[in-house]
Structure 1
């Protein structure tokens, strides 16, 4: 079932439900594979933004296990991340480690298409790492799908509610920015900005578990004066809020 709400300047929000986390991850995985396959059949290199957290993990497991996984040439898929923790490369808290452990061992990838945020051991400062990642995002061009885990507080990427300094907007906003004093550890991060997420053709918000139910309700019916960060984004062609039964609204 689905529900829609207005999204000025972008595609209207559609609510997609599945009974369980596993069923939700399987549906998301199938759609990611279908989008990538269609873009490759059109002669393009698809670009996917991955997310961390529990739904990032579930989505990657779903892709890796999907029967249609190998219908995509993963060596010709461009990969970005919505945010990254400022820790050394390979650290267990990095979001890109999920892909390294759960997907990349099962498919052939080209490192030239895997665009990671530099680690804290890269020799760059945090500001330099964010600037370098912003350039990589800009050079990536078209984003076909941006996966975004939604936090219980309604954050996405590392864009947290109540932090006006993180909700930069407008045509002059960079594609990526520094986060300091994150309410979730570790305190320093690099994140895509709101305009960078909105650049995607398809923005998919992923929420599972009862602790996400309040955020889901506030995304579907956003506060007009101070919407949650996850309610501030939309895709150019499609905006989908994917929820399991525990997080989703009861069907009308």
Structure 2
């Protein structure tokens, strides 16, 4: 898992733009569809000429078309727009840019699902633009909230994951450094299929290093394969093993 620089919001979610702000307020006033679900406007609005939402495009650009949690390569069709604080509990930050994370379907739907830190399960958290319409609320402040929460998972656009977890490339697993790291590992990485995928990537990179493939080409292959962070860790590991004469053992 790597740190991700959060890009500026697309215009349609930018609260600094008056028309966008008014439009978002209208979204919150008409939040629910006839089935009681929040309208998924992160998919259906703000579309470009190609019919794809600029919200989705910006999220993919932000993460180099990768899942922010596991690093798997994703495209528009395989992207899930994850709400870091889930819609089921916090619908009034549904359209807040700073709560949106690019994720693969496995991480969002199978691993994370509707995870809520226990310490805020009873809170009503809202985006500031609708603060005057909802009682007993806590205004959503990305930095302040995540700084105070210690029973959460890593948020890759806020945290430096290396402060919370450490990857072991020899044995294909993450070690926790903090409670946040422990929760994150248990959620996303303590799965047999994840270790198997990493093992395949490690063996591929080992073979490339053994055959003296150039660093630039290996990095390009890792970028195409996905799992960039662990891929680079495998590359560093096998380079050391080669330099120390252990790669063929």
Q: Same fold (TM over 0.5)?
A: no
Structure with the higher strand share, 1 or 2: 1
TM, length-normalised to structure 1: 0.23
Rg larger for? 2
Structure with the higher helix share, 1 or 2: 2
